[in-house]
Amino acid sequence: MRSIPIVQIGLGGVGRELVRQVLATREALAKHYRLSLVYLALADSGGVHATGAALTRDEIEATLAAKAEGRSVATVAGKSSGMPWSSLALREAAIFVDVSAAPGHEMMLADRVASGSRVVLANKLPLSAGLAQFQALMAEGATRYEATVGAGLPIIATLQALLDSGDTVTRIEAAMSGTLGYLCSQLEAGESLSTALRAAHALGYTEPDPRDDLSGADVARKALILARTCGLPWSINDVPAEPWFPPAMAGLSRDEFLARAEELDASFASRVAEARAVGGALRYVATVTPQGASVGLRIVPTEHPLASLRGADNLFSFTTARYAERPLVVRGPGAGQALTAAGVLADIVATAREM
């Protein structure tokens, strides 16, 4: 039996679900691969729970309980502390798993790669920061990052398989925001944007401030990750995103923005009508080609795979030298705690088997 140590950064909804899935799959991994995934440390922005040895199940459960109560891991009894996870001293290589949404981890993770550890990411920010940091994380294939783009969907694996087999990617088109996909569907069904937006916010489909979704910045980061995976040496400035609101509304408070959402209704009703007039569908689309990228609202023809998209599903269309006439399409839920955690766990297991 080979024990593979894990240091997990981030214990929000996805992070806690990931821990539960790791614990639930221990017997199967031992049986099929003779692998044991052991937690050396669990970390959040407030500190680290680590004892110098593998955490026991009781210690892990205590950490999850503390987080569910809104407390930091630094408050858990034992050898927890307020020190950052980057200060951990390890005697062996480990898998560093970042399921936070925190900025500034790229250099610290790259240092761990340089010392022989491996990295698994759901956090998009390390891969959409500077190109040098992206390249350092990718050194020797040390980082897996499936969940950064499509949650549990096999997007990076599909793209990497195309590239590894010598295919040439000429175009990627994707709808990769469940929130914006939901809004497009509601607009097509005849709802005003303000009504659909408030409903989505009340249901928890959006970020606490829905402008975090409506800015398109998250989609742009995903598009940049796809582009860099294809070998394009781009920065986030090379992936312009069209926001759903004018600059004048960026400075409002969240409540003021939601109260004034009707100001957006007329322009979006006009865009939906324009799409209907030409027999198309309005979608928020990221496009990546070797010549450049764009992220924004587009009218797609009815025969396009994106036109059939409904609700919060994601869809990725890969046009390549081999898939020139009929693009390769991957479609399915692109969000959700259980699905995202499962995507991360699959990367952890694949990495552990390589180690």
**Active centre residues (catalytic):** 222
What is the distance between the alpha carbons of residues 112 and 106, in angstroms, rounded to a whole number?
Answer: 10
The answer to whether 95 touches 6, Cβ cutoff 8 Å, is: yes
* 28 Cβ contact list (under 8 Å, min separation 6): none
What is the distance between the alpha carbons of residues 216 and 205, in angstroms, rounded to a whole number?
Answer: 15
* 84 Cβ contact list (under 8 Å, min separation 6): 43, 47, 48
The answer to whether 146 touches 158, Cβ cutoff 8 Å, is: no
The answer to whether 100 touches 10, Cβ cutoff 8 Å, is: yes
The answer to whether 128 touches 153, Cβ cutoff 8 Å, is: no
What's the CA dihedral at 52, 341, 100, 203 to 10 degrees?
Answer: -140
| The token pair that represents 127 in the structure block | 């891969």
